[in-house]
């Protein structure tokens, strides 16, 4: 008999050592691992999409647009300073329009590690022609480095994000 026609038994490889199997499985396996990594990054760094009073803000959107336009038209701008010892906030304000006797300052913060949001409304009273003062109702922890601000002057408003309020003043100006 000719050895050409006799089947030769080859040594059978273990299934997980086959190179084609590893090539086929490695693609989907990399995608699954990348999906888990993306999920945990997104979960850890998620932003708050809605504020607690989103419905009220939606109803007042036309009013806020008009207030922003009026602040830009009157060239309202000023500097906020925070004194942590007395929890006092001072606001030096310049405007070409009417200056109200009181301002409403809304401060909101969101602390990512604890996933909570704090909001405070402070009335700033006029001390002299361009200076307003108010006192924080409760202290905001120093490790919260960004305060979201809204100063409402009745006909106008200013908004902004104050980074490091415990260390530096903040210059507010209208956003167009």
Alpha-helical segments (H) within the chain: 19-44, 54-59, 61-73
Mean pLDDT by 10 residues, the chain (176 residues): 64 75 88 95 74 76 83 89 86 86 82 63 88 84 79 87 87 83
Tally of domains in the chain: 2
pTM confidence score: 0.60
Q: Are residues 34 and 80 in the same domain?
A: no
Q: Is residue 132 part of a domain?
A: yes
Q: Is residue 49 part of a domain?
A: no
Q: Is residue 8 part of a domain?
A: no
CA distances from 102 to 61, 82, 160 (A): 23, 18, 19
Q: Are residues 27 and 100 in the same domain?
A: no
Please say whether the beta carbons of 134 and 124 come within 8 A. yes
Q: Are residues 160 and 112 in the same domain?
A: yes
pLDDT confidence of residue 28: 94
pLDDT confidence of residue 8: 65
Q: What is the CATH number of the domain that holds 73?
A: 2.60.40.10
Closest to 130 measured CA to CA, from 93, 84, 91: 93
pLDDT confidence of residue 153: 86
Q: Are residues 39 and 101 in the same domain?
A: no
Q: Are residues 19 and 64 in the same domain?
A: no
DSSP 113: T
Q: Are residues 34 and 98 in the same domain?
A: no
Question: What domain range is 69 assigned to?
Answer: 54-172
């Amino acid at each position: 008999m000719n050895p050409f026609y006799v089947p030769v038994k080859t040594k059978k490889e273990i299934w997980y050592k086959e190179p084609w199997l590893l090539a086929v499985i490695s693609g989907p396996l990399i995608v699954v691992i990348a999906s888990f990594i993306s999920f945990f990054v997104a979960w850890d760094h998620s932003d708050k999409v809605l504020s607690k009073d989103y419905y009220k803000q939606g109803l007042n959107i036309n009013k806020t647009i008009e207030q922003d336009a009026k602040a830009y038209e009157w060239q309202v701008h000023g500097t906020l300073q925070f004194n942590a010892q007395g929890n006092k906030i001072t606001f030096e304000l310049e405007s070409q329009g009417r200056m109200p006797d009181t301002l409403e300052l809304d401060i909101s913060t969101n602390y990512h590690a604890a996933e909570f949001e704090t909001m405070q409304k402070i009335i700033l009273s006029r001390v002299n022609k361009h200076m307003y003062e108010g006192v924080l109702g409760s202290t905001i922890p120093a490790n919260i480095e960004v305060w979201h601000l809204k100063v409402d002057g009745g006909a106008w408003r200013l908004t902004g994000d104050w980074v490091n309020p415990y260390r530096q003043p903040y210059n507010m100006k209208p956003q167009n």
